[in-house]
Amino acid sequence: MSKIKSLRQFGHGDPSKVVEIIDLEEQEPKDDEIIIKMEAAAIHLADIKRFRGDYGFEAKELPLTPGYEGVGRVSSIGSCVTGYKIGDRVFPWWGNGTFSEKIAAKAELCIPAPEGDACQLSLMLVNGMTAICLLEDFYDLKEGDWILQNGANSNCGRYLIVLANERGIKTCNIVRRESLFDELFDLGADKCIVDDNNSDALAKKISDLTDGSKINIGFDMVAGKATERVARCLAYGGKVVNYGFISKESCSLPFHDLFFKNITLTGMSTGRGLAKRDMSTIRHTYSLLAKKISDGLLTAKIARTYNLENFVEAFAHAEETGENRKGKIIFTMN
């Protein structure tokens, strides 16, 4: 049997110290499995949190092969598998350990993948479904409604702009630099504004920018004082949905917004979003997302690609934010 390269997490702590690259014997598929020769695998903040053992992300069993998502091609098939043939492109299901040259996956959980850029497709399972859940699960958004989001230059933020625009939903997008406006407008953003760290001033500017439109929902991926700034821009009874922790601070929502404006704050988990949907709906959604990515309608900024041997540098790059990272970090294999 030939050898394959794979990353292995054996503890919690600094990723450079608790992850190693190893040679494994190439395995044969079980009856209900397929072997996937990986093309690309995205590095997510959740991967870093699992390495570090952050609350809620700790690995239940170690050692393990890390990697939440990716895309590859079927290289061998178990005896009971009928839905795939060798050479088919597939997405393994969430958390299948994609930081490896080849992986075994339950065939029934895999999702067919289209042709197209492997790096772009490697981001679909997590960020694509996150954007869908934000749009569908927290407010009954109709054509002509507004949504507000910070971190609009993130991959999920970009997906939100495109998907909302397709539904006739208007987006007001908070970013850190005016230099980002044009690329967000090209995606279909309706309004963009620079976050000046002043809640009342930002609320006034956004009201002026949207001609006093009522904004009932805001998506917050920054946390800390940024949560307050999103809340201050919403109408009475509005809702802030937090789904990120870029500031590494707890969400801040003052008494003023809770008491006088009846603002609510809720958290979002894509896992909970998946649990609300049956597998048929999930597969249909992923099929639509994959086609949009394949056709170039949904695109992510890719900062850099790395091979598995350069995992220390790749993980350090993935932990950077904003201008220091400039997009997503992807492993490319084979």
Same domain assignment for residues 137 and 260: yes
Same domain assignment for residues 61 and 99: yes
Same domain assignment for residues 73 and 97: yes
- Hey, what amino acid is at 297? L
Q: pLDDT tens across 283-325, in order? A: 999 999 999 999 999 999 999 999 999 999 999 999 987 677 7
Same domain assignment for residues 117 and 222: no
Q: Is residue 290 part of a domain?
A: no
Same domain assignment for residues 182 and 200: yes
Which of 271, 288, 311 terminates a domain? The answer is 271
Structural domain range at position 144 = 133-271
pLDDT of residue 56: 86
Same domain assignment for residues 201 and 161: yes
Same domain assignment for residues 152 and 267: yes
Same domain assignment for residues 184 and 215: yes
Q: Is residue 287 part of a domain?
A: no
81: left (phi over 0), alpha (psi -120 to 50) or beta: beta
Cα torsion angle, 324, 326, 329, 333, sign: negative
At a CB cut-off of 8 Å and minimum separation 6, what does 190 contact?
146, 165, 170, 171, 172
Beta strand extents in the chain (DSSP E only): 3-9, 19-25, 33-43, 71-77, 89-91, 102-106, 111-112, 146-150, 170-175, 191-194, 215-220, 239-242, 264-267, 302-306, 328-332
Q: Is residue 179 part of a domain?
A: yes
Residue 50 binned pLDDT confidence (cut-offs 50, 70, 90): very high
Same domain assignment for residues 139 and 263: yes
Bridge partners of 61? none
246-263 mean pLDDT: 92
- Assess contact for 230 and 218: CB atoms under 8 A: yes
85-114 mean pLDDT: 96
- Hey, what amino acid is at 272? R
pLDDT of residue 1: 62
Check pLDDT > 80 for residue 53: yes
Q: Which two tokens stand for residue 260?
A: 């006088």
Q: pLDDT tens across 188-224, in order? A: 999 999 998 899 999 999 999 999 999 999 999 999 9
Count of domains forming the chain: 2
Q: Is residue 202 part of a domain?
A: yes
Q: Which two tokens stand for residue 67?
A: 């990697």
Q: What does DSSP say about strands 239-242 and 264-267: parallel, antiparallel, or unpaired?
A: parallel
Q: In the predicted model, what is the mean pLDDT of the chain? A: 95
Q: Is residue 158 part of a domain?
A: yes
- Hey, what amino acid is at 218? G
Q: What does DSSP say about strands 71-77 and 89-91: parallel, antiparallel, or unpaired?
A: antiparallel
Cβ neighbours, 10 Å, residue 313: 13
pLDDT of residue 163: 98
- Residue 166's CATH number: 3.40.50.720
Q: Is residue 295 part of a domain?
A: no
Same domain assignment for residues 231 and 316: no
Q: Is residue 292 part of a domain?
A: no
At a CB cut-off of 8 Å and minimum separation 6, what does 289 contact?
124, 128, 129, 132, 298
Same domain assignment for residues 147 and 215: yes
Same domain assignment for residues 33 and 77: yes
Q: pLDDT tens across 145-190, in order? A: 999 999 999 999 999 999 999 999 999 999 999 999 999 999 999 9
- Residue 67's CATH number: 3.90.180.10
Q: Which two tokens stand for residue 281?
A: 């709906």
* Residue-wise DSSP of 199-237: HHHHHHHHHHHTTT--EEEEEESS-THHHHHHHHTSPTT
pLDDT of residue 92: 97
- Assess contact for 4 and 26: CB atoms under 8 A: yes
Share of the chain above pLDDT 70, in %: 99
Please calculate the CA angle 60-245-277 and round it to the nearest 5 degrees: 65
Which of 233, 253, 271 terminates a domain? The answer is 271
At a CB cut-off of 8 Å and minimum separation 6, what does 37 contact?
72, 73, 74, 75, 101, 102, 333, 334
- Hey, what amino acid is at 35? I
99, containing H or E segment: none
Q: Which two tokens stand for residue 121?
A: 């497709």
Find the farthest-apart pair of alpha carbons in the chain and give their distance in angstroms, rounded.
Answer: 68
DSSP code at position 103 = E
Q: Is residue 165 part of a domain?
A: yes
